[in-house]
Chain A
Amino acid sequence: MLPSHINFGRHDEGGNPMSVPAWNPAVEFMEREALERLQLAQLRQTVTWALKTPFYRRRLAEAGLTRSEDIASLRDLRHLPYTTKDDLREAYPDGLLAVEPEQAVRLHTSSGTTGMPTVIYHTRRDLDAWTELVARCIVATGATAGDVFQNMTHYGLFTGGLGLHYGAERVGMLVIPVSSGNTSRQIQLLRDFRATVVHATPSYLLHLHTALAGAGVTTDQLHLRKAFIGAEPHSEQIRRKIETLFGIEAYNSYGLSEMNGPGVAFECLYKTGLHLWEDAYILEIIDPHTRQPLAEGETGEIVMTTLQRQATPLLRYRTRDLSHLVSGHCPCGRSHRRLARLKGRSDDMLIINGVNVFPSQIEDLLMKTPEVGSNYLIQLEKRGALDRLVVKTEIYAKLFTGDPQTLDALRERLSEALRSAILVKPVIELHEPGSLPVSEGKARRVLDLRPAF
């Protein structure tokens, strides 16, 4: 399939007709009614697939469901049980495999932080469907077959590298499968092959920019136009910072290995939220505590049901990612609804002296403060009976005046601003540029030193 340019009578600011690049316009601009009919048919298909697994046969029988015909409408979805990460761990290694082992052509497994692994299998058709979704994401950002794509995320069991790799190849881009790390080689390749589009974590791009300066390379010497950023939650400020530092457009990507990986939801040219491909996933937002569905616009846990994956179908999977649905229509005209930038993970939430705090709230504020750099560390300690929040941040060398009074005032200003934002008064520590850990993958920015009990 070749990408098309769709014009639904939209005009740009100068009154000229605008076209929106799209990979699969028939699906991407499908009327809601048709989309929901497609969802219902695929949901029944998915339940049929799921019933082939020991896990879902038992779980669905407990919910009174033994045949896919029992699902009369999409509203019946709410009678289906949730699936959790723990379910995936218990079903490891093959309790959720819905096809004959010889039909599966690839698996992705993740060890997770608690040690018990999870696994997702794919048939050839599953991989093809995944690749199609990624191709849609890429084309929606305006990238084309003429682009040179340097894929700076890890290849292997992690889904980020291979997911974007195959999508970019399908679009017809020239793909440089460099994988993550090895910054000096990244810089060399960016220059030698004039890469125009990169895929990386936001923290790696910030690290790369510092390394470019160290290598005496300016962004003017590169040919970058776009970056796809994902795999770790980040603020709008971080996106803008990346765009300004490199002089490029950065598009937010959302995915998780349980839902294939990247390609679940992506920003289009308009960057008004991440279009989630609703022909491939049914999206719900629920209250993580009461598990009740939430209304549009309310922030809660993202729950997704796969609609296209035969080898490992997942019903109402609780992602633990927090977001909300963006209301209204996107100017691009796509009918698939949009997720707002991730607010964090339900299990990232910190409870500090009884107050709920998300690390993203702290990051937002730090990123709005030009005097501090982009690395930070949130440390939680116990002082007697009370929790103590220490926020370590680096000063920005170019704005250092030599005057310690200015720094003391900065410390006080940050502390006050955070107290009014998160209702906990932190201790702010200022450190030397480059002294806090920079992660080349998913940045670990929270250190909880409080004893468990």
Chain B
Amino acid sequence: MAEQLSVFVDNKPGRLNALTGVLRDHRINIRAMTIANHRDYGVAKLLVSDPRLAQRALMEQGFAAALQSVLAIVIEDRPGGLHAALEILAERQINVLDAYGFVVAPGQRAAWCMEVDDPDEAERLLTTHGLQVLTARELYQL
């Protein structure tokens, strides 16, 4: 499974910029990013070129940063592409907790990343149905 980086950021001007500054200084590229607002703070989730280096660099700068497993799959970039994948999970009552996606090749491929309540079973199901579950390296090399 792929790894995503979760970073705690104060909900105030300049903090997100501090985070991206640390990544730039370590020549780490961001593939995808999402932020959830929780009033006084936010949690940023990022897919980056080197998650472990990114975590270490951020912790050294005083950030609270954690690595989490994330289920990343390749879907077709066409109407119904995401639906086909989610249908497999819905049939087995697997719940999606948090998710985001991005286009890899317009009209051809997109990546879909999600946290689910039963990641091992989800991975097995998706693989059985011919969907590609990505490692961190594969995800970044798309």
User: Which chain B residues (83-133) contact chain A, with CB distance < 8 Å?
Assistant: none
Does the CB pair A395–B43 fall under 8 Å? Answer: no
- With an 8 A cutoff between CB atoms, is B67 at the interface? yes
- With an 8 A cutoff between CB atoms, is A62 at the interface? no
- With an 8 A cutoff between CB atoms, is A429 at the interface? yes
A and B contact pairs by CB, cutoff 8 A, 21 listed? A392-B40, A395-B8, A395-B64, A397-B63, A400-B6, A400-B8, A400-B64, A400-B65, A402-B45, A402-B68, A403-B6, A403-B68, A407-B43, A408-B38, A430-B8, A430-B40, A431-B41, A432-B8, A432-B9, A432-B41, A433-B64
Does the CB pair A402–B41 fall under 8 Å? Answer: no
Q: Using Cβ atoms and an 8 Å threshold, which residues of chain A touch B68?
A: 401-403
- With an 8 A cutoff between CB atoms, is A404 at the interface? yes
Alpha-carbon distance between A400 and B15 when the two chains are bound, in angstroms: 18
With A400-B65, A402-B66, A402-B67: A431-B10 Cβ-Cβ less than 8 Å: yes
Measured CB to CB, the residues of A under 8 A from B are 392, 395-397, 400-404, 407-408, 429-435
Assuming A397-B65, A429-B40, what are 4 further A-B pairs, CB within 8 angstroms?
Answer: A395-B64, A400-B65, A400-B66, A403-B6
Does the CB pair A397–B38 fall under 8 Å? Answer: no
Does the CB pair B62–A432 fall under 8 Å? Answer: yes
Alpha-carbon distance between A259 and B5 when the two chains are bound, in angstroms: 55
Does the CB pair B40–A431 fall under 8 Å? Answer: yes
Alpha-carbon distance between A419 and B62 when the two chains are bound, in angstroms: 31
Q: Using Cβ atoms and an 8 Å threshold, which residues of chain A touch B10?
A: 431-432, 435
For this complex, into which size category does the number of interface residues on chain B fall?
20 to 34
Among the listed B15, B38, B65, B67, which residue makes an inter-chain contact with A404, where contact means beta carbons less than 8 Å apart? Answer: B38
A390: nearest chain-B partner, CB-CB = B40
A258 shortest CB reach to chain B, Å: 40
Does the CB pair B62–A433 fall under 8 Å? Answer: yes
Among the listed B15, B40, B62, B67, which residue makes an inter-chain contact with A397, where contact means beta carbons less than 8 Å apart? Answer: B62
With A400-B65, A434-B62: A407-B41 Cβ-Cβ less than 8 Å: yes
Measured CB to CB, the residues of B under 8 A from A are 5-6, 8-10, 15, 36, 38-41, 43, 45, 59, 62-68
Q: Using Cβ atoms and an 8 Å threshold, which residues of chain B touch A396?
A: 64
List the 8 closest pairs (A to B, CB-CB), nearest first. A402-B6, A402-B66, A400-B64, A397-B64, A429-B40, A404-B43, A434-B62, A402-B68
Alpha-carbon distance between A408 and B66 when the two chains are bound, in angstroms: 17
Q: Using Cβ atoms and an 8 Å threshold, which residues of chain B touch A400?
A: 6, 8, 64-66
Alpha-carbon distance between A408 and B39 when the two chains are bound, in angstroms: 10
Does the CB pair A432–B63 fall under 8 Å? Answer: yes
B59: nearest chain-A partner, CB-CB = A397
Alpha-carbon distance between A429 and B11 when the two chains are bound, in angstroms: 11
Does the CB pair A432–B40 fall under 8 Å? Answer: no
B18: nearest chain-A partner, CB-CB = A432
Q: Using Cβ atoms and an 8 Å threshold, which residues of chain B touch A431?
A: 10, 40-41
A-B interface contact total, Cβ < 8 Å: 57
Alpha-carbon distance between A400 and B36 when the two chains are bound, in angstroms: 16
B67: nearest chain-A partner, CB-CB = A402
Alpha-carbon distance between A408 and B36 when the two chains are bound, in angstroms: 12
A434: nearest chain-B partner, CB-CB = B62
Alpha-carbon distance between A397 and B63 when the two chains are bound, in angstroms: 7
B43 shortest CB reach to chain A, Å: 4
Alpha-carbon distance between A317 and B66 when the two chains are bound, in angstroms: 54
Alpha-carbon distance between A433 and B41 when the two chains are bound, in angstroms: 12
A396 shortest CB reach to chain B, Å: 8
Alpha-carbon distance between A403 and B4 when the two chains are bound, in angstroms: 12
Q: Using Cβ atoms and an 8 Å threshold, which residues of chain A touch B8?
A: 395, 400, 407, 430, 432
Alpha-carbon distance between A431 and B62 when the two chains are bound, in angstroms: 12
A170 shortest CB reach to chain B, Å: 42
Q: Using Cβ atoms and an 8 Å threshold, which residues of chain B touch A435?
A: 10
A399: nearest chain-B partner, CB-CB = B64
Q: Which of B9, B62, B65 has the most CB of A within 10 A?
A: B62
Q: Using Cβ atoms and an 8 Å threshold, which residues of chain B touch A401?
A: 6, 66, 68
Alpha-carbon distance between A161 and B66 when the two chains are bound, in angstroms: 42
Q: Using Cβ atoms and an 8 Å threshold, which residues of chain A touch B40?
A: 392, 429-431
Alpha-carbon distance between A401 and B64 when the two chains are bound, in angstroms: 9
A428: nearest chain-B partner, CB-CB = B40
Q: Using Cβ atoms and an 8 Å threshold, which residues of chain B touch A402?
A: 5-6, 43, 45, 65-68
Does the CB pair A430–B41 fall under 8 Å? Answer: yes
Q: Using Cβ atoms and an 8 Å threshold, which residues of chain A touch B64?
A: 395-397, 400, 432-433
Alpha-carbon distance between A404 and B64 when the two chains are bound, in angstroms: 12
Does the CB pair A407–B66 fall under 8 Å? Answer: no
Q: Using Cβ atoms and an 8 Å threshold, which residues of chain A touch B45?
A: 402
Q: Using Cβ atoms and an 8 Å threshold, which residues of chain B touch A392?
A: 40
A324 shortest CB reach to chain B, Å: 37
A396: nearest chain-B partner, CB-CB = B64
Alpha-carbon distance between A429 and B42 when the two chains are bound, in angstroms: 12
Alpha-carbon distance between A392 and B66 when the two chains are bound, in angstroms: 22
B92 shortest CB reach to chain A, Å: 23
Alpha-carbon distance between A91 and B4 when the two chains are bound, in angstroms: 67
A429: nearest chain-B partner, CB-CB = B40
Q: Using Cβ atoms and an 8 Å threshold, which residues of chain A touch B15?
A: 432
Alpha-carbon distance between A404 and B9 when the two chains are bound, in angstroms: 11
B67 shortest CB reach to chain A, Å: 7
Q: Using Cβ atoms and an 8 Å threshold, which residues of chain B touch A404?
A: 36, 38, 43
B55 shortest CB reach to chain A, Å: 10
